Structure 1
Amino acid sequence: MTLSIIILAKVIQFFSNHPALRGFALAAALRAGNNHRMEIAIRPQLNRADVEAIARERLGDIDVVGHEEFTDGFFNAAHALALADGRHLVVKVAPDPGLKLLRYEVDLMAAEIEFFERAAAAGVPMPKVWHTDAEAGLMIMDRLTGVSLAQTAEGIDEAEKLVLRREIGELSARIVTVSGERFGYPRKDGRTRSGSWAESFTAIVDDILADIADREAPLPRSADEIRRLVTGDRALLDEVDRPALVHFDLWDGNIFVQRGENGWHVDGFIDGERALYGDPLAELVSLITFIPPAEAAAVVDGFLGRALTDAEERRLCLYRIYLWLILIVECDVRGYEPERTAGQVKWATEGLVKDLGALEA
């Protein structure tokens, strides 16, 4: 489930002036979205028979006793199947590779498969995987028994929530202990990959700015100005000397939680297709940008065991700028309704303006 759920315009417009409450905006948007089927142009359209056929082809002679389509995603098709043997599975199918997507949206299923394997090996709670086929754009995995934090956050006691946020920080810190051979997105053609984080991040930003130019998405400053500000901190980026595995999309919709005898705990993380190898701190972007400050501090404490330094705050600012640029341009690719597009572009542009100003301060 991508961060794009924020585009439900009325929720966004109300909360955009209250940064500390943005997490609540996301949760409210998710609940609202669950009541309406979101027609997304690039998401594969599959019915129950299609999904059952895929599962039987890959898993053998299974007896399906239940089916549910998840309609709140903005990229892949995802369907749940209940089996007579007691298993509850999710069948995930990527968009047609022939579609014109964003430049970084290449080999995403392969990236997700790699993320699942490497994160699970590092002790990160992930759904069990039953079948993968990167070339076919297919994954079949266990359905988590918990619920997304975006759906349940408002019902969790504040003290319990801080404990949960700290656990989220600790578990996400395990992800970034995994190292890659080179920086950049793990795509087959090697685009954005290099031995330097500064070089790879510059290439990543150049790609998203090119996407924006191609689709004539609105920007508050020229692309040249934005690139100049981002690349002006090359020395800071050069301090990153290890390509760490980064999920980069760990907002509350991709974090599943459960309530147990000892309170709330993390059930698992999902949707690793946006993964890349880069600065470990980049993992904090989606984790803390959209939640209240006290909760963000708890995540950082779990992740680092201390507060962020000024230099780290500045690096995070760079990575937030990249996220805002994605949110601005992806609307056209997804084929959102005009009202949703306007809401998301407005909200992301406000974040972009704020962070560009912070770089110049």
Structure 2
Amino acid sequence: MAGPLLERWSDALFSWFDRAAADLTDSGLDATDIAELVRVADRNRAVLDEVAEPRLLHGDLWVGNTMLADGAPEPVITGVFDCDRTWWGDPEADWPIYLALKKPGSERDAFWSSYGPVRRTEHARWRAMVYEAKHATALLLEFHRFGWDEELAKTYEEIRELTARLAD
């Protein structure tokens, strides 16, 4: 894994946002909302830095990116693919966790029975909004590449709404 070596989770997260903002700018998109998000989140840097022990995050872990053992009575993962989004940090910041949380009461509940519940303290809920904004920021480039202007506009609005909620 390449990238800067940083001592605090907030530094790693803000570095990610800085690189994403640069990518947006390079693609001709506006990164002003991202800069404002980071400015607001920086006020509660200590809440982010409560995450003191980083975990390996895959960034795109789902069935299609796993190799399963053939013939095992229960699925056994023997390999993991597509690791270009791998980094270190808070497990709750990982894309698959974000997706699993978005559809409670579905087949994704099987994941939670093995993974365990996500703790939702006031600080964890605040961090989750920052992580949601991170995922929305990543989607901006995807929507731009596909020419999905309506989704792009909705996502910018989502980031502005999250920034306002973080500021409260």
Same topology, TM > 0.5: yes
The structure whose residues are more often helix, as a share, is 2
- Point out where structure 2 has 5 or more consecutive residues left out of the alignment: none
Name the SS for the 1:294 alignment partner.
coil
Q: How far does residue 310 in structure 1 lie from its aligned partner after superposition?
A: 2.8
Aligned ranges 1:116-265 → 2 under 5 Å? 186-187=1-2, 191-218=3-30, 222-250=33-61, 254=65, 265=75
Q: Match for 2:138 among 323, 326, 335?
A: 326
Deviations 1:145-195 (A, max 9, x none): xxxxxxxxxxxxxxxxxxxxxxxxxxxxxxxxxxxxxxxxx31xxx43212
Aligned length: 164
Structure 1 residues without counterparts, runs of 5 or longer: 1-185
Amino acid at match of 2:86: A
Length-normalised TM-score, structure 2: 0.73
The alignment yields a C-alpha RMSD, in angstroms, of 3.3
Contact kept in structure 1, 2:47 and 2:123, CA below 8 Å: yes
Q: Deviations over 1:62-83 (max 9, x none)?
A: xxxxxxxxxxxxxxxxxxxxxx
Inter-partner Cα distance in structure 2 for 1:330 and 1:254: 19
Task: Tell me the alpha carbon deviations over residues 29-58 of structure 1, each in whole angstroms, 9 at most, x when there is no partner.
Answer: xxxxxxxxxxxxxxxxxxxxxxxxxxxxxx
What percent of counterpart residues are identical?
24
Q: Call closer, same or farther: CA 1:318–1:251 in 2, change over 3 Å.
A: farther
Alpha-carbon distance in 2 for matches of 1:243, 1:287: 15
Residue 275 of structure 1 and its aligned partner are, at CA, apart by 0.1
| TM-score in terms of structure 1 length | 0.38
Alignment of 1:37-56 (within 5 A): none
Greater Rg over alpha carbons, structure: 1
Residue from 152, 158, 162 that aligns with 1:355: 162
TM-fit CA distance, 1:321? 1.1
The match for 1:273 among 76, 79, 84 is: 84
Any conservation in 2 of the 1:192–1:201 contact (CA below 8 Å)?
Answer: no
